[in-house]
Amino acid sequence: MEEISKLHLPDAFLDFLQENGLDPSIYAAVDSTPRYIRLKAGSEAQLEEIEAEIKCKLEKLDWLQGFYSLPPDFKIANSNAYKQGKIYGIDAASGAAVSALDVSVGDHVLDLCAAPGAKLCMILDILGDLGSVTGVDVARHRLAACRTLLQKYALGNRCRLFVADGTTFSLVPRRLDSDSGSCISALEEKADTLKEWTSKRPWKERKRAAKARESAATGLIANSKHPELIYYGCHSGVIGLSKSELYQSVCNGEVSNSGYDKVLVDAECTHDGSVRHIQKFENWGWTTLQRRVLDADRSDSLTSLQLKLLTNGFRLLKVGGSLVYSTCSLTVAQNEDVVDQFLKENASAELQEIDAAKDWPCRSGRIPKTLRFDPSTSKTSGLFVAKFTKLAI
Ligand SMILES: C[S@@+](CC[C@H](N)C(=O)[O-])C[C@H]1O[C@@H](n2cnc3c(N)ncnc32)[C@H](O)[C@@H]1O
């Protein structure tokens, strides 16, 4: 308990942990959990140079490709390697969730809660020169940060980003033109054809978008019926489409064939498994923890949101595809209970074994085949992971 009190966890949070059967001693791991980085694909040859610049040895993880650990208090943000986009700051458990998705070159991937984008970047690095990634998030400012990441790491070519509610998002990937041709060859001169993406939109268009956002925020008018496209790369399948083609919806039956090959639902949660996140409330103030974690948990709306995100992500998955559901909460309510309910409601969903996990420092969740990383045993941030496939029924 002496170790726990180092973080000065307030009584209300200790009660929350007790109610959820969680051991408060995991928060003692905050000082011993390593930092993790992922090396940008292609930067492997510069490993020694990076180590020399940051003046620290990068310990290679033997269970997760491209990941290295650093001492717990190490900060990468000021290093040139980070500023120049040679390394990413991402926890190893988050890397495992992406790895569970088993993305192959050429896949069309949907990331339904994408911002700020650490996992999305990893997916794009794996994807290589074929396929596409569609990133969706309801928080515009967070998705804008994700767009900045794409630009920093020069990863945006095959990506499109939509500000949208993941519980109702309905667009399937563009499979036809996205895998071939250059930006130019895809161009057709129609009046509202989407051309190469630029941050410099005409003044009129920016004003219209700002007005629509303002009105939506004040509830004066209903939200635009289409998700807002805030970025698209050269090979994301968007260029050359008219707006009506971009927003063309398909019926549920068609999604079986034209849906995504892989879907990640890294759902909104209480973040209680992320010891570093909880540590931040020491500075932000424990009343903020009350509002963001404890009150959120008390309302059923969070678990209902998680179930809706998982259900809609699965709806957009093609038959035979894989979906990974993850949260950085360790409560049963936000994980196994959501999975349980989802399986009851979706006869075509089947839990899958995560093959790569045999070497991972995690343990089984309460439902066989689901996984839990917890800070004290895995030396990572806390994370729950479940993988599903869609059966043809
Ligand atoms: C755990 S974070 C995702 C982290 C992200 N996958 C990454 O690796 O950087 C959860 C995200 O879900 C988003 N979110 C919350 N409600 C949503 C909704 N209804 N639809 C889409 N995104 C939502 C939040 O804005 C937040 O960015």
> With contact defined as beta carbons under 8 Å apart, do 316 and 262 qualify?
no
Please choose from 137, 142, 223, 309 the residue to mutate so as to test ligand 1's pocket, defined by most ligand atoms within 8 A of CB. 137
Structure pTM? 0.91
Task: Output the CA 181–ligand 1 centroid distance in Å.
Answer: 32
Closest ligand 1 atom to residue 266 Cα is: 6
10-residue block means of pLDDT along the chain (393 residues)? 61 89 86 93 92 96 97 93 96 98 96 98 94 97 97 96 97 69 48 81 68 62 75 94 89 89 97 87 84 74 96 97 97 96 98 95 96 93 97 91
Q: Which atom in ligand 1 lies closest to the alpha carbon of residue 90?
A: 8
The answer to whether 309 and 113 are in contact (CB under 8 A) is yes
Q: How many Å is the maximal CA-CA distance in the chain?
A: 69
Measured distance CA(296)–CA(267) in Å, rounded: 14
- Report pLDDT for 176: 59
Give phi and psi for 88, each to the nearest 5: -115, 145
Q: Which of 113, 159, 328, 362 is catalytic?
A: 328
Statement: 32-89 belongs to CATH 3.30.1490: no
Using CB distances shorter than 6 Å, the residues near ligand 1 are 94, 113-119, 136-139, 142, 165-167, 266, 268, 305
Kindly state the tokens that stand for 148: 């900045």
Token pair 């190469």: residue: 196
pLDDT at residue number 190: 62
Kindly tell me the burial class for residue 139, based on how many C-beta atoms sit within 10 Å of its own C-beta (0-12, 13-18, 19 or more).
Answer: middle
pLDDT at residue 222, rounded to an integer: 44
What token pair was written down for 391? 């059966």
Q: Give the position of tokens 């956002």.
A: 213
Q: What percentage of the chain's residues is helix, strand, coil (to nearest 5)?
A: 40, 15, 45
Q: Specify the pLDDT at position 178.
A: 43
Give the model's pLDDT for residue 210: 72
| 328 catalytically annotated | yes
Token couple for 285: 């103030």
CA–CA separation, 18 and 21 (whole Å): 5
Residue whose CA lies nearest to ligand 1 atom number 6: 114
Q: Which residues of 326-357 are buried (b: 16+ CB within 10 A; e: fewer)?
A: bbbbbbbbbbbbbbebbeeebeebebbebeeb
140-150 burial string, b = 16+ CB within 10 Å, else e? eeebbebbebb
pLDDT at 258: 92
Ligand-binding annotation for 340, yes or no, is no
Contact predicate 136/363, CB 8 Å: no
User: What is the residue with the minimal CA distance to atom 27 of ligand 1?
Assistant: 115
pLDDT of 128 reads 87
CA of 306 to the centre of ligand 1 (A): 10
Residue 177 labeled ligand binder: no
ipTM: 0.99
Write down the pLDDT at residue 202: 63
CATH 3.30.70 domain span(s) along the chain: 32-89
Spatial distance between the Cα atoms of 151 and 146, rounded to a whole number of angstroms: 9
Ligand 1, residue 136: give the atom nearest the CA: 21
